[in-house]
Structure 1
Amino acid sequence: MSEHLFTNGDNPTPDSGDEVKKDFKGLLGSVKKFLSELLEIRTNTDAAATKESIIADIPFKGHTSWILISSIFIASVGLNANSTAVVIGAMLISPLMGPILGMGLSLAINDIDTLRRSVKNFTVMVVLSVITAFLFFYLFPLRDESSELLARTKPDIRDVLIAFFGGLALVIARAKKGTIASVIFGVAIATALMPPLCTVGFGLAIGKPWYAAGAMYLFIINTIFIGLATFLVIKFLRFPMVRYANSQRRRLIARAASLTGIAVMIPAGFTFYQVFQESLFKKQAQEFLKETIEVYQFNAAGRYVDNLTKIEYAEGKSPLIELVCMGDELIPENIISTWRVQKSEYSRLKDAEFRILQGGKDDSQEKFNYVSELYEKNKAELLTKDEQIRLLEEEVATLTKNVGKQIPFQNISAEAKANYSSIEALGFSYQMQTDFKKLDTIPVFEVKWKEGVRQNQKETESKKMTAWLKLRLQDSTLVVKEAD
Structure 2
Amino acid sequence: MKDSFGQDNVTPTGQPDQGEEVKKDFKGLLGSTRKFISELLDIRQNTDQEATREAIVADIPFKGHTAWILVCSIFIASVGLNANSTAVVIGAMLISPLMGPILGIGMSIAINDIDTLRRSLKNFTVMVVLSVLTAYLFFKLFPLRNESSELLARTAPDIRDVLIAFFGGLALVIARAKKGTIASVIFGVAIATALMPPLCTVGFGLAIGNLDYAGGAMYLFSINTVFIALATFLVLKLLRFPMVRYANSKRRRFIARLASLIAIGVMIPAGITFYDVFQESRFRAQAQEFISETIAIYQFEDNGRFMESLSEIDYQEDGVSILELVCMGDDPIPETVIETWKTRKNSYSKLADAELRIVQGSGEEDQRMRYVSELYESKKAELLGKDERIRLLEEELAKVGSLKDVMLPFAAISAEARANYEDLAGVGFSYTLQTDFQKTDTIPVFELRWKQGISTQQRAENLQKLTNWLKLRLANDKIQVREAVN
Using structure 1 for the length normalisation, give the TM-score: 0.74
* Matched-pair identity in %: 74
- Distance of 1:303 and 1:111 partners within structure 2: 62
Which residue pairs with 2:378 in the alignment?
Answer: 377
Name which of structure 1's ranges 139-148 and 56-65 shifts more when overlaid on structure 2: 139-148
Code of the residue aligned with 2:166 in structure 1: it is F
Give 2:34's aligned residue.
32
Tell me if structure 2 keeps the 8 A contact 1:301–1:329: no
Distance 2:357 2:363 in 1: 14
**Equivalent of residue 66 in structure 1, options 65, 68, 82:** 68
Q: Aligned to 2:265, which of 260, 263, 275? A: 263
CA distances 1:235-276 after superposition (whole Å, capped 9, x unpaired): 111111111111111100000100111111111111001001
Q: State the one-letter code of the partner of 1:237.
A: L
Match of 1:220 in 2: 222
Change (3 A) 1:322 1:42: same
Q: Deviations over 1:442-484 (max 9, x none)?
A: xxxxxxxxxxxxxxxxxxxxxxxxxxxxxxxxxxxxxxxxxxx
The alignment yields a C-alpha RMSD, in angstroms, of 2.3
What letter corresponds to residue 104 of structure 2 in structure 1?
G
1:326 and 1:52, CA in 2 relative to 1: closer, same or farther beyond 3 A?
Answer: same
User: Match of 1:23?
Assistant: 25
Q: 1:335 to 1:69 in 2, by over 3 A?
A: same
Partner residue in 2 for 1:140: 142
Alignment equivalent of 1:246, drawn from 242, 245, 248: 248
Are the aligned partners of 1:100 and 1:226 in contact in 2 as well (CA < 8 Å)? yes
Is the CA contact (8 Å cut-off) linking 1:308 and 1:378 kept in structure 2? no
* Structure 2 residue aligned with 1:116: 118
**Aligned position for 1:95:** 97
Q: Kindly indicate whether the alpha-carbon contact (under 8 Å) linking 2:106 and 2:230 is maintained by their aligned counterparts in 1.
A: yes
> Any residues of structure 2 matched to 1:298-313 within 5 Å, and which?
298=300, 300-306=302-308, 308-313=310-315
- Opposite residue 377 of structure 1, the aligned amino acid is S
Cα distance change, pair 206–295 in 1 and its aligned pair in 2 (3 A) = closer
Shift of 1:214: 1.4
Cα distance in 2 for partners of 1:311, 1:230 equals 35
> Are 1:284 and 2:286 matched, yes or no?
yes
Q: Distance in 2 between matches of 1:379 and 1:139?
A: 22
Structure 1 327/176 Cα, relative in aligned 2: closer, same or farther at 3 Å? same
Does structure 2 conserve the Cα–Cα contact (< 8 Å) formed by 1:196 and 1:218? Answer: yes
* Structure 2 Cα separation of the partners of residues 186 and 82 of structure 1: 21
Distance change >3 Å, CA 367–CA 113, structure 1 → 2: farther
Partner AA of 2:298 in structure 1:
Y
Deviations 1:151-177 (A, max 9, x none): 211211111111111111111111111
- Runs of at least 5 residues in structure 1 that lack an aligned partner in the other structure: 1-7, 388-484
CA distance change for structure 1 residues 28 and 367 in 2, over 3 Å: closer, same or farther? Answer: farther
C-alpha separation in 1, matches of 2:176 and 2:267? 23
CA distance 1:146–1:9, change in 2 (3 Å): closer
**Hey, what does 2:317 align to over in structure 1?**
315
Cα separation, partners in 2 of 1:12 and 1:338, compared to 1, 3 Å: farther
| Deviation by residue 1:358-404 (Cα, 9 ceiling, x = unmatched) | 44x453635641454234532661556x99xxxxxxxxxxxxxxxxx
With over 3 angstroms needed to count, the CA separation of the structure-2 counterparts of 1:371 and 1:313, relative to structure 1, is farther
- Tell me how far apart the structure 1 counterparts of residues 384 and 64 of structure 2 sit (CA, whole Å): 42
State the AA in 2 paired with 1:176.
Answer: K
Q: Are the aligned partners of 2:330 and 2:363 in contact in 1 as well (CA < 8 Å)?
A: no
TM-superposed CA distance for 1:317, in Å, is: 2.6
- Residue 272 (str. 1) matches residue 303 (str. 2): no
Q: CA deviation at 1:294?
A: 3.3
Q: 1:73 touches 1:136 (CA, 8 Å); kept in 2?
A: yes
Residue matched to 1:206: 208
Q: What SS does the corresponding residue of 2:382 show, helix, strand or coil?
A: helix
Q: Which amino acid aligns with 1:282?
A: R
Amino acid corresponding to residue 70 of structure 1 in structure 2: C
Structure-2 residue corresponding to 1:234: 236
2:411 match: none
Give the Cα separation in 1 of the matches to 2:194 and 2:337.
44
1:173 to 160, 172, 175: 175
Q: Which residue of 2 aligns with 1:408?
A: none
SS of residue in 1 equivalent to 2:77: helix
Deviation (angstroms), 1:13? 4.6
* Structure 2 gaps, min length 5: 1-9, 389-486
Once the 2 structures are TM-superposed, how far is the Cα of residue 322 of structure 1 from its aligned partner?
Answer: 2.7
CA offset digits 1:264-312 (Å, max 9, x no partner) = 1111111001001111112222232233223333454333344554322
**How much has 1:53 moved relative to structure 2?**
0.4
The counterpart of 1:155, out of the listed 151, 157, 169, is 157
Alignment partners' CA distance in 2, 1:72 and 1:240? 36
Which residue of structure 1 lines up, in the alignment, with residue 198 of structure 2? 196
In structure 1, the residue matched to 2:77 is 75
Letter in 2 for 1:106: S
SS of 1:304's equivalent?
A: strand
What SS does structure 1 have at the residue aligned with 2:305? strand
Please state how far the C-alpha of 1:22 moved relative to its aligned partner: 2.6
Distance 1:118 1:32, change over 3 A: same
One-letter identity of the residue aligned with 2:374 = E
Work out the CA distance in 2 between the residues paired with 1:257 and 1:173.
24
| Pair 1:269–1:371, CA change in 2 (3 A) | farther
Structure-2 residue corresponding to 1:472: none
CA distance in 2, matches of 1:183, 1:241: 27
8 Å Cα contact 2:309-2:375 kept in structure 1: no
Give the distance between the partners of 2:380 and 2:78, measured in 1 at CA.
24
Distance 2:44 2:331 in 1: 66
Q: How many residues align?
A: 379
- Structure (1 or 2) with the larger CA radius of gyration: 2
Distance 1:328 1:382, change over 3 A: farther
TM-score (norm 2): 0.73
Q: Deviation per CA, 1:78-99, whole angstroms, max 9, x where unpaired?
A: 1111111111111111000000
Q: Distance in 2 between matches of 1:199 and 1:14?
A: 74
Q: Secondary structure at the match of 1:323?
A: strand
Aligned to 2:56: 54
